Copies of this chain bind each other. A is one copy, B any other.
């Protein structure tokens, strides 16, 4: 490789072609469709590229080809560590590809999402990843007419726009409650914050599981649209026991709330799991090392990101998946906070 390829900064494909003794268009094909070149030319171009340290001008490529190599990613939040894990999966799998990620966050606003999608439409991305299945009608139209592969992630449902990678929040909520019921608990509270569509479906799972056991009671439910924090978990729990003192378990829609509940129990000297079982959602890393360790629903966030980006890239390159909907499932991680006290 050349030592200082950048000195001029103006190495164009023409220069590469000249050095390789081919026409510019052949050099161009070296990048887009190397198999179309004879082995001899391919090698000549390859070494010319390396010798000159040639880097393609993406703007020129995009202008001439009417395509970009950008994959748009639309998520609701940058700070929610759930999405951080998804993003890590996406970025990890993008690194070795020729695609780059254009990330935007909507702050949980579907209007903001629509605005972002409009922006994306104008830029003709090669692919698109959006969060969830509750877009505005207009967003839905944009997605359907986007003329590029689209993946909806984080959950699954009927009528995907294109591809879908996620799991059933309803089933996960239902499973969590079934587990708590199996432990003999009867008055199971529900703590919810933010109440985005996925949280709402976890609630539906909770409600139906409770109803199936004839145990549903609106007084067991405390929710808010305020963003989740650990502190909020404690506050909501305080509200809950003020309203319904006889609860013997709490299902929290995420782990931050669950941690807040644990702290609040410690503060009030309510024994966990003795007097109160706690179950969270997502299985963040700290759940396993809390004292007592906290039961949670593990979601495969990193894999969701990986699969989504892989499927999108494959689709861009013409390898459409046989099955457009991928259910990554969940695992109930049963720990001390929801099982009988040992010793």
| Chain A residues engaging chain B, CB cutoff 8 angstroms | 6, 55, 57-60, 62-63, 68, 78-79, 81, 84-85, 87-88, 91, 100-105, 121-123, 229-231, 233-234, 256, 259-260, 263, 266-267, 285-286, 288-291
Contact = CB atoms under 8 A, between A and B. Distances in A.
Given A263-B291, A267-B291, 4 more contacts: A79-B81, A79-B85, A79-B88, A231-B285
B91 A230 contact: no
A259 B231 contact: no
B230 A286 contact: yes
A285 B91 contact: no
A58 B288 CA distance: 48
Contact of A91 (B85, B105, B121, B288): B105
A255 B62 CA distance: 45
Nearest to A231: B289
Contact of A87 (B57, B58, B62, B78): B78
A103 B88 CA distance: 12
Given A63-B63, A100-B102, A291-B263, A285 B84 contact: no
17 contacts: A6-B121, A55-B122, A59-B59, A59-B60, A78-B84, A78-B87, A78-B91, A79-B81, A91-B103, A91-B104, A102-B102, A229-B286, A231-B289, A233-B289, A234-B289, A260-B286, A266-B291
Nearest to A100: B102
A117 B105 CA distance: 24
Contact of A103 (B58, B84, B101, B231): B101
A176 B286 CA distance: 24
Contact of A59 (B63, B231, B285): B63
A123 B101 CA distance: 14
A58 B103 CA distance: 17
A230 B78 contact: no
Contacts of A68: 59
Contacts of A259: 286
Given A81-B81, A91-B105, A263 B289 contact: yes
B288 A231 contact: yes
Given A63-B57, A79-B85, A121-B6, A289 B260 contact: yes
Nearest to A112: B95
A70 to B, nearest CB: 9
A60 B61 CA distance: 10
Given A68-B59, A79-B88, A263 B285 contact: no
A143 to B, nearest CB: 13
Contacts of A91: 78, 103-105
A121 B53 CA distance: 12
B79 A84 contact: yes
Contacts of A291: 263, 266-267
A236 to B, nearest CB: 12
A136 to B, nearest CB: 16
A104 B101 CA distance: 9
Closest 6 A/B residue pairs (Cβ): A59-B62, A55-B122, A230-B286, A266-B291, A231-B289, A59-B63
Contact of A81 (B84, B233, B234): B84
Contacts of A104: 91
A230 B289 contact: yes
